[in-house]
Structure 1
Amino acid sequence: MPGPAGRRKRLPGSSSWLARVIDLTLWAALAAPPAVAVCTLPAGLPRYVAAAAVPLLAVAVLLCRRRPLTALGLPVLPALAHSVELVSPLYWPALAVLAFLAGRRTTEIRPALWFFAAVAVAGLPLCTIVGRDPWGWPTLLLTLLLTAMLPWLLGRLGRQYAELAGSGWRLADRMEREQQAVADRARIRERARIAGDMHDSLGHELTLLAVRAGALEIDPTLDARQQAAVGELRAAAAAATGELREIIGVLRADYEAAPVAPSEETVEELAERARAAGVDVRLEYAGDMADPEPAGHPAGLPPMAGRAVHRVVQESLTNAAKHAPGATVRVRIGRAAGTVSVAVVNDPPGGGAPPPGAASGGAGLVGLDERVRLAGGTLRAGPAPGGGFEVVADLPTAPGTAPRAAGSPALTGASARELERARSQVRRRLTQTVVAPLAVLTGILLLMIPVALLSSSFSVLDRAAYDRLRVGDRQPAVEDRLPVFTRDGPPDGAPLLPRGQRCVYYSTAVLASDAYRLCFAHGRLTGKSVVGGDTEG
């Protein structure tokens, strides 16, 4: 399809060029922390890992558009090599950005969940075997949650919001166009009905005129010239009636039978006919309203306004019988300050089910609004304050009132419901984005209880083994007599670490408040003591 007027045509290859610039900028931003670390860290494993991460992040940026999960896995490797607990801030920006892009660019949720589960499961043996610290696993899970899972959820939320909003507005636009077409057909049908009413009324008057002219044509008191003039008048009235039937009568809908005479039913007769059909109708007049005339509309009203009053009552009673069987219908007609108002209010349904075929597409109210509009009035229809449904029309009593300007139709109820459904899904996804990390965090905290018991049990150093240790022993010989795991950090009240020494802590008993501290330097045991609790020695 051709684009909107004035839209510039995109040059060939401009989008790919822009994508390359964006990717290059992204790589420069993500590779900046490890690149700086290469220049500042001393020679060792962290420095070599940072040097390898720079080209690795370039590959990740190249893959993040087509294989976003693979791109996310690449910075995980140097992060784990730097720290098995993922406590490596050099790679946190890369993890967060690539995780967000993975959530934004993937449609399936299962591969991402498998990826995060694989990293979490692989972290357990890495922390317990390589790091020899079970407490490192909860730290890994928490870091993975904050640096990767939460950005991925935010990216997925952004993707779903864009999809839901786009689909919702497309659906709303389509339904609005369909409703517009239905409303236009209803208005055209109502205008044809009005034309039919005018045809019936004018045809009746023209017929009476032709009958009276025919009677005058044979009046013996008239001379030949006058009789010829009256004959011409009768012929003109008959020809006008035929032309009116041909021009306006064809506008009547095929399923509407044209009456042989104009309708003379009053509002009271209409209400009485509805009562005979089983509808509880209560009719009242207010203000200076007089009883309806036999012409079919209240006294003093223009024909368009009077027929509009009749039509409002007729359509409202029909809808009440369809959708609220057994309910009481109150019809109130009043006139004041140059306006006649008619209000039809039905109570909530009285327990009866709508009869078969009572479904309505709302075209009746649209056509009713068109008739009231052409009469210069306004129409309101909707739920009544006390329950039920109400239709209220205000019509001018002055003849020759110009039709009210047609307003643009609002969104249909169905499209509004679809938009609300899309918004509720977005709100639910947002709630999941907040609740899911909290649930994972709660799981990590609960997981720390058995990990604490496990770590405390496997980090207990026997008192006899502690006593056999001597300052000056070689570190490999000392480590052979130590437990598999160390305690998770020093206990409360432990003194500061001696300068130039590396110290490890072991529990004196399960869940004890004090610990054994062993310090090493230059491959030998340089000190041992009991720290924390109430003792130190």
Structure 2
Amino acid sequence: MNTPARAHSLRDRLREGLRRRRVREALADLALWLFMAYPLPSLTEVPLWLRLLAAPLLAVAAPLSRRAPLAAATVPAALGLAATPQLFTSTFSPALVALSFLLGRRTQDARPSLAAALALCAAGLALALTLPGADLWDWFTLVTTVLFAAVLPWLLGRFRRQQYELHSAGWELAARMEREQQLVAERTRLRERSRIAGDMHDSLGHDLSLIAVRAAALQVSPGVDDDARASAAELRQAAADATERLRQIIGLLRQDTTDSAQLPPAETVPDLVARTAASGVRITLRRHGTHDTAEDELPPLVDRAAHRVVQEAVTNATKHAPGSTITVELRRENAALEVTVRNDTGANAAPPTAGVGSGTGLISLDERVRQAGGSFRAHPTEHGFEVQAQLPLTPFGADPHRPTAPEPLTGPSRSSEELAQARQRVRRGIVNALWIPAAATAVLAVLMYGFQLYTSHQSVLPRHTYADLRIGDAETSVTPRLPSYEFDEESPPPGAPPDPSHTKECRFYRTATFDNSPLYRLCFTAGRLSHKDRIVTDRDDG
């Protein structure tokens, strides 16, 4: 009666939870936009039109960072490039840092983010080489900005993501351990029920068998009238019926009720194969060896172990690879019985359902075979799966090669592997957050030093070229003979005399690479060389 009301209440709670989540996300996005937009009205280093355009773009980037964080992070990067080829601006740097951190926090694959950073550096290089007034020093500034305002926050965001995954893996491991404890407790209870069932079968079954034997003896005893014989027959039949009911009840109490309670206790491997084939499964039995027809001569423990191996292997094959062809081989020699069950999926069989089973069946088979003194092996083949057991026919304990402990069928637990992988990802994140900026800074420093060395060498005006210059030469004829770069400090250098009057511009060139020697000054007026001199600045040694 209360089911519709309960379902309606559940839907209401679900809607309320979603509504609260949307409100929290909207408030977080609003706070993010306010953080990114606060420099727009206070800083004037970028044009007004660009600041007016940035406000709505950043308002769109804030919620977009949840669904497409990479696209959101490109917004402040594009605004920074539009403002200056150096990318670094106090107006858009906070937005670039925040959205780069969220990019690392909210994305799993690192390759698109790294490709975007490389594309940004390539775009900055193109601007530095094409825009008037820009040079490679602007590109070095851009790379430094990308490194510390984009890559480093992105690494910190990835580290935070991996830290969260480690935290989640720890809670998942704790929950899994609780479930495993519950399974162990349940398994212990089932094992105890199986022990109780065995005790009941051994004691009560024996007593009921004795009652039936005595009733049969009384039935055929001389001197007993017909009524007593009829009563004895009824007693014997009642004891037999009680024994059968006891067997059924014991089957319910046993741990593996799906197999033991339903199968005849004397069923052999050929009987099992025939019964399986009768149900429509494509199964074949092959027997080899010196005693092909003497199944009844097998030791009871070996007979039950072989039956259990074939039964479990056939069950797994029909469950995980339906439609496959199953081959059962019994190879009996004088000292051992080798049981092999393999399934071949073939072209028309359904794909195997890997990972569905719990794996306890193979563990129980290994224990059953080990207790019989044999060895067990289960492994996938090229077209299916194979189970192989070797059971000794010698008396129990006579085989010197009998294993004393079960060999592990599996490696480390899945939970411990997941936790180790999560910890490794966190350690890798810490290492990346340290070495990537350090390595990039070192590479950038080497590039800047090499470029400085190159520009220093290219800013040296040879002495003979300086001597060949004449006052009054046209600027168009003088410029091709000058170095590619001018002196790379501010112009005029500190301590240099003031420029001559009426000059249009003065250029400074080095007299030697990395030598604090005087500089050459060339001044042009009305398109001609009007002054040339050798000056000493405050940076010179003397």
Report the residue type matching 1:321 in the other structure. S
Deviations 1:144-170 (A, max 9, x none): 101112222333454566679879988
Query: What is aligned with 2:58?
Result: 60
Q: Which structure 2 residues correspond to residues 64-463 of structure 1 after superposition, within 5 A?
A: 64-66=62-64, 67-77=68-78, 79-80=80-81, 84-106=85-107, 109-124=110-125, 126-127=127-128, 130-131=132-133, 133-159=135-161, 191=193, 195=197, 198-212=200-214, 214-215=216-217, 237-249=239-251, 253=260, 257-258=264-265, 277=336, 316-318=370-372, 321-322=375-376, 357-358=387-388, 390=405, 413-462=413-462
Report the residue type matching 1:447 in the other structure. L
Report the residue type matching 2:510 in the other structure. S
Report the residue type matching 1:141 in the other structure. V
Calculate the TM-score normalised by the size of structure 2: 0.53
**Cα 1:223–1:68, aligned 2, differ >3 Å: closer, same or farther?**
closer
Aligned counterparts of 2:209 and 2:88: Cα–Cα separation in 1: 99
Aligned counterparts of 2:80 and 2:153: Cα–Cα separation in 1: 17
Query: What is aligned with 2:34?
Result: 28
Aligned counterparts of 2:121 and 2:53: Cα–Cα separation in 1: 25
Calculate the TM-score normalised by the size of structure 1: 0.53
Deviations 1:422-443 (A, max 9, x none): 5444544554444433332332
Deviation at 1:208, TM superposition (A): 1.9
RMSD between aligned residues: 6.1
Deviations 1:339-366 (A, max 9, x none): xxxxxxxxxxxxxxxx95159xxxxxxx
Which segments of 5 or more consecutive residues in structure 2 lack a partner in the other structure?
Answer: 1-6, 268-298, 305-333, 339-364, 379-384, 390-402, 470-477, 499-505, 524-529
Q: Is the 8 A contact 2:33 2:62 kept in 1?
A: no
Aligned counterparts of 1:517 and 1:151: Cα–Cα separation in 2: 46
Deviation at 1:78, TM superposition (A): 5.1
Aligned counterparts of 1:194 and 1:496: Cα–Cα separation in 2: 105
Deviations 1:7-34 (A, max 9, x none): 6742776555544433332222222234
Aligned counterparts of 2:370 and 2:112: Cα–Cα separation in 1: 57
Q: Is the 8 A contact 1:169 1:419 kept in 2?
A: no
Report the residue type matching 1:448 in the other structure. M
Q: Which structure 2 residues correspond to residues 42-53 of structure 1 after superposition, within 5 A?
A: 46=45, 48-49=46-47, 52-53=50-51
**Cα 1:238–1:25, aligned 2, differ >3 Å: closer, same or farther?**
closer
Deviation at 1:95, TM superposition (A): 1.4
Report the residue type matching 1:199 in the other structure. H
Deviation at 1:97, TM superposition (A): 0.7
With 235-244 and 442-451 compared, the bigger mean Cα shift is at 235-244
**Cα 1:431–1:26, aligned 2, differ >3 Å: closer, same or farther?**
same
Report the residue type matching 1:417 in the other structure. E
Indicate the SS of the match to 1:530. Answer: coil
Indicate the SS of the match to 2:436. Answer: helix
Query: What is aligned with 2:515?
Result: 512
Which segments of 5 or more consecutive residues in structure 1 lack a partner in the other structure?
Answer: 39-45, 280-310, 325-354, 360-387, 392-410, 470-477
Q: Is the 8 A contact 1:57 1:75 kept in 2?
A: no
Report the residue type matching 2:375 in the other structure. A
Q: Is the 8 A contact 2:251 2:260 kept in 1?
A: no
Deviations 1:63-100 (A, max 9, x none): 34435444433433554466543443443222111222
Deviation at 1:176, TM superposition (A): 9.6
**Cα 1:323–1:162, aligned 2, differ >3 Å: closer, same or farther?**
same
Q: Is the 8 A contact 1:505 1:518 kept in 2?
A: yes
Query: What is aligned with 2:313?
Result: none
Deviation at 1:444, TM superposition (A): 1.6
Report the residue type matching 1:97 in the other structure. A
Report the residue type matching 1:21 in the other structure. L
Aligned counterparts of 2:157 and 2:535: Cα–Cα separation in 1: 51
Aligned counterparts of 2:191 and 2:9: Cα–Cα separation in 1: 36
Report the residue type matching 2:443 in the other structure. G
Aligned counterparts of 1:164 and 1:151: Cα–Cα separation in 2: 20
Q: Is the 8 A contact 2:128 2:136 kept in 1?
A: yes
**Cα 1:109–1:358, aligned 2, differ >3 Å: closer, same or farther?**
same
Aligned counterparts of 2:70 and 2:138: Cα–Cα separation in 1: 25
Identity %: 36
Aligned counterparts of 1:82 and 1:390: Cα–Cα separation in 2: 74
Query: What is aligned with 2:537?
Result: 530
Q: Is the 8 A contact 2:511 2:520 kept in 1?
A: no
Aligned counterparts of 1:176 and 1:2: Cα–Cα separation in 2: 33
**Cα 1:160–1:110, aligned 2, differ >3 Å: closer, same or farther?**
same
**Cα 1:18–1:214, aligned 2, differ >3 Å: closer, same or farther?**
closer
Indicate the SS of the match to 2:537. Answer: strand
**Cα 1:314–1:68, aligned 2, differ >3 Å: closer, same or farther?**
closer
Aligned counterparts of 2:423 and 2:235: Cα–Cα separation in 1: 69
Aligned counterparts of 1:237 and 1:115: Cα–Cα separation in 2: 85
**Cα 1:118–1:313, aligned 2, differ >3 Å: closer, same or farther?**
closer
**Cα 1:122–1:239, aligned 2, differ >3 Å: closer, same or farther?**
closer
Aligned counterparts of 1:83 and 1:102: Cα–Cα separation in 2: 23
Report the residue type matching 1:24 in the other structure. L
**Cα 1:25–1:481, aligned 2, differ >3 Å: closer, same or farther?**
farther
Indicate the SS of the match to 1:243. Answer: helix
Report the residue type matching 1:508 in the other structure. T
Q: Which has the higher contact order (CA 8 A, sep 6+)?
A: 1
Aligned counterparts of 1:64 and 1:389: Cα–Cα separation in 2: 65
